[in-house]
Amino acid sequence: MATEATEEKKDAPQPGRVDKFFGMTENKTNWKREVLAGTTTFLAMAYILAVNPGILSIALTEAGVDAPNPGAVFTATALASALGCLVMGLWARYPIATAPGMGLNAFFAFTVVLTLGIPWQTALTGTLVSGVLFFILAVTGAREAIVNAIPTQLKLAVGAGIGLFIAFIGLKGGGIVVADPATLVSLGPFQGEGSSTVLLTVFGLLVTAVFMVLGWKGGVFYGMLATLVAGVLTGVIDLELAEGFTPNLDSFGAAFTGFEDAFTAHMIAVILTMLFVDFFDTAGTLFAVAGQAGLVKEDGKLPRAGRALATDSIATSAGAVLGTSTTTAYIESTAGVSVGGRTGLTAVTTGFWFVVSLVAFPVFGLFANNPAVTAPALIVVGVLMAKALGQIEWNKLEYAIPAFLIVIAMPLTYSISNGIALGLVFFPIMMTARGRWREVHPIAWVLMLASIGYFFFLTE
């Protein structure tokens, strides 16, 4: 009997080289399922190809400051995403896709360039430096020490706060929220001048929300597409908006021109903020997606975790050289995992589609050049990120107060770094008042002092 079983095993078809490399048989999947999963992930996150140029280029141009070419940002977004996906798939071999991070692109544009007045070239230099530092911290293990110094409650608050900040940007861009001299903000016009943009934004938000509730994997992207079609049919969107969005490499190497001003006090704060946010964003996404895919071991550890963390830093550095903000792991990867993605082939497939998207630039140009089309995507992404609020222990004020200050300060001060710094100042003090000062990591005290210095010396 044993001999027969052995012979049957020998006669069974052996996995091919691609199967062995990605471990498809081992993870009970196949190439068809992996390709489908990678395509699903791409559709779920394709909105970034329009939203990122809209934030880094078009929004800055409309604000009256020097900004990179939108076609260059689109190219950098596609190539940085593709590179990150390929490294993640071929080296770390995880079904996790990467792209310029939501929140960090808003921080780059609205805080660093608009508020601090730092040239976008220097901001790219800061992104490059943060990528290199992140790589060093990832491969040396120092990253874990810093991450562990910050309590989970504050990490959750940072993610939720960024979500509210992104949603606020979407509401503002779509005209639903407007400036008001008496109350600071007010509701946008639903009739008369400016109402067409507001109504199209509301339509897009409703359609996108319905798609998401129905469980469509590419709901955000399909919502943008439906809004675009509605805008064109009603005459709100001019097809000529796609002009000037041709892929190019005009921003390539701009990060190398800003080193002279890259290590000022403001830029050091910027780099540290980029590191801080990317630390938790990457780690949280990695464990969430890997956990859903069943790749987390019984001891709670991830195989090749160091490679996965280092992948983000490689993609961030490359993206900065190409001309875009911090590249990070995307939670939308869960869309691919939900349809069976389990190996790096899923990420490789997603990367392939990012390269292919370069020939579809007219469509993404129409997306990016109309805030009513991208605003619903920003608002819905904000909703998804705000889910972290439910995990915060609001009944413990030593956590609740600093967490709330982080969440509320980001949208109201239009700055991610302000929110983070405010929370880092209050957390050790609240823990001490509760008598739990022994539980505060020494690094947290250092971060508190650094945050105090930030408010007194780096804000105006």
Per-residue pLDDT at 406: 93
Per-residue pLDDT at 144: 63
Q: At what angle do helices 120-140 and 265-293 cross, to 10 degrees?
A: 50
Per-residue pLDDT at 297: 73
In Å, how far are 90, 186, 380, 423, 431 from 129, measured between CA atoms? 25, 39, 31, 25, 33
Per-residue pLDDT at 458: 66
**Which has the higher per-residue pLDDT, 279 or 335?**
335
CB atoms within 10 A of CB 177: 18
Overall average pLDDT of the 313-339 stretch:
92
**Which has the higher per-residue pLDDT, 398 or 296?**
398
Overall average pLDDT of the 233-262 stretch:
86
Overall average pLDDT of the 364-392 stretch:
86
How many angstroms from the chain centroid is the CA of residue 434?
Answer: 35
Cβ atoms of 99 and 278 closer than 8 Å = no
How many angstroms from the chain centroid is the CA of residue 37?
Answer: 20
Per-residue pLDDT at 294: 82
Per-residue pLDDT at 209: 95
DSSP secondary structure of 106-144: HIIIIIIIIIT---HHHHHHHHHHHHHHHHHHHHHSHHH
Q: For residue 34, how many C-alpha atoms fall within 13 Å in the half-sphere facing its CB?
A: 26
The alpha-helical segments, DSSP class H, found in 263-360 are 265-293, 305-322, 333-338, 344-356
pLDDT at 8 over 80: no
Q: Tens of pLDDT along 160-206?
A: 888 898 899 889 989 999 999 999 999 999 998 889 999 999 999 99
| Rounded Cα distance, 344 and 27, in Å | 11
Q: Mean pLDDT score of the chain, rounded to an integer?
A: 88
Per-residue pLDDT at 3: 54
User: Strands, DSSP E only, in 298-456?
Assistant: 327-329
CB atoms within 10 A of CB 301: 8
pLDDT at 240 over 90: no
CB atoms within 10 A of CB 21: 14
pLDDT at 9 over 60: no
Written as six digits, the tokens of 211 are: 């798609």
**Which has the higher per-residue pLDDT, 405 or 263?**
405
Per-residue pLDDT at 47: 92
How many angstroms from the chain centroid is the CA of residue 64?
Answer: 25
Read off the pLDDT band of 347 (50, 70, 90): very high
| Rounded Cα distance, 333 and 37, in Å | 9
Read off the pLDDT band of 364 (50, 70, 90): confident
